[in-house]
Amino acid sequence: MEGGETIDVVVRRRDDRAGGTIAVLELARRDGAPLPDWAAGAHLDLTIAGDLIRPYSLCGIPGETGSYRLGILNDPASRGGSQAVHATFTEGLETQISAPRNHFPLDNSAKHSVLVGGGIGITPMLAMAHALKAAGQAFEVHYCVRTRESAAFLDELAATFPNETHLHCDDGAPDQRFDPDGVLKAAGPDAHLYVCGPGGFMDWVIDRAKSAGLDKDRIHFEYFNAQIDTHGTAFEVVAAQSGVTVTVGPDETILDALGKAGIKIPKSCQQGVCGTCLCDLLEGEPDHKDKFLTDEEREDNDQIITCCSRAKSPRLVLDI
């Protein structure tokens, strides 16, 4: 795994759910030694094969270090990661992971939290629900799926959080479908919203939250994939520490251009959502295309996600 220490783990258990479309994996050290501590909202990078690495949210009970749990959708539109997991990750398989990282933390000051998971986006919400219940804080979980049969985590949500869980099915009656306006109005202006799921679903929920007047500091989200156009005009990138200058072509990324020159930047999702390939920017004007940096961080223009973002200026100088 590029750019960080790896942890050797074994697939201790695999549980296929929702007609085999979701694999729930339990990962542990073979010798049973504890794994690094983690908090709700964290994700890790999973080595799938060779240099194929993808980020996945932890969906177990925060603080449990005997094993980690992941829920992985077999997505036909994926770039091969999830399909390879479903095809090859059997019990006993050995692989590597990164230590957990958290770009989607809970705000412990919230009086009430609204957790919204679209499809497989429910996975970080599971950990958040456990953390909020343990802390005695008020919350509600909204699980949005196409059909009830695709709700792979419904049984455990209903068993553990029966009063807080709400299921919304696209093919169900209109009165049970997710209504962000009504939910946020009932939750009140002091509520905090957390949302994860497909990009279009997230954009819709976030837009409705803003329209409802929810302060942006109370809207928390994490994209796990994004449709980003990484093409554009050519520009120059200078790696200041390395003394290397490359031209980024119209059909390549900064990450790839620097890689060809022998400068390896840590990478994972390669879709602008996980932040693994973030670099400090010393000079130039970036064209931010990612779903990772906040609006404030973008305005500072001192960081860039190199797997997708480009340049508005003829040259960028990176601190690498």
Token pair belonging to 102: 């958290």
Asked if 183 contacts 172 with a C-beta cutoff of 8 angstroms, the reply is no
Residue that finishes a domain, picked among 192, 221, 250: 221
pLDDT of the residue at 2: 47
Domain assignment present for residue 104? The answer is: no
Give CA 169 to chain center in angstroms: 23
pLDDT of the residue at 3: 47
Residue that finishes a domain, picked among 221, 246, 276: 221
**304 and 240 share one domain:** yes
Q: Quick one: DSSP state of residue 31?
A: T
* Backbone phi and psi for residue 311, each to the nearest 5 degrees, phi listed first: -130, 140
**80 and 143 share one domain:** no
pTM of the model: 0.83
pLDDT of the residue at 291: 84
Token pair belonging to 36: 């690094």
Per-residue pLDDT of the chain (320 residues; tens, 9 = 90+): 444 689 999 999 999 999 999 999 999 999 999 999 999 999 999 999 988 899 999 999 999 999 999 999 998 877 678 999 999 999 999 999 999 999 999 998 899 999 999 999 999 999 999 999 999 999 999 999 999 999 999 999 999 999 999 999 999 999 999 999 999 999 998 999 999 999 899 999 999 999 999 999 999 998 877 667 788 999 999 999 999 999 999 999 999 999 999 999 988 878 888 888 999 999 999 999 988 888 889 999 999 999 999 999 999 999 99
Asked if 175 contacts 190 with a C-beta cutoff of 8 angstroms, the reply is no
**58 and 134 share one domain:** no
DSSP state letters, 288-303: ---SSS-HHHHHHT-E
Q: Whole-angstrom Cα distance, residue 25 to residue 11?
A: 7
Residues 25-28: contacts with CB within 8 Å, 24+ apart?
25/69, 25/70, 25/71, 25/72, 25/85, 25/89, 26/67, 26/68, 26/69, 27/67, 27/68, 27/69, 27/70, 27/95, 27/97, 28/66, 28/67, 28/68
Asked if 255 contacts 279 with a C-beta cutoff of 8 angstroms, the reply is no
Domain assignment present for residue 63? The answer is: yes
- Exposed (0-12), middle (13-18) or buried (19+): which is 128, by Cβ within 10 Å? buried
**202 and 118 share one domain:** yes
pLDDT of the residue at 248: 96
When divided into structural domains, the chain yields a total of: 3
Domain that holds residue 175: 112-221
Which CATH number belongs to the domain containing residue 43 in this structure? Answer: 2.40.30.10
Domain assignment present for residue 1? The answer is: no
pLDDT of the residue at 227: 66
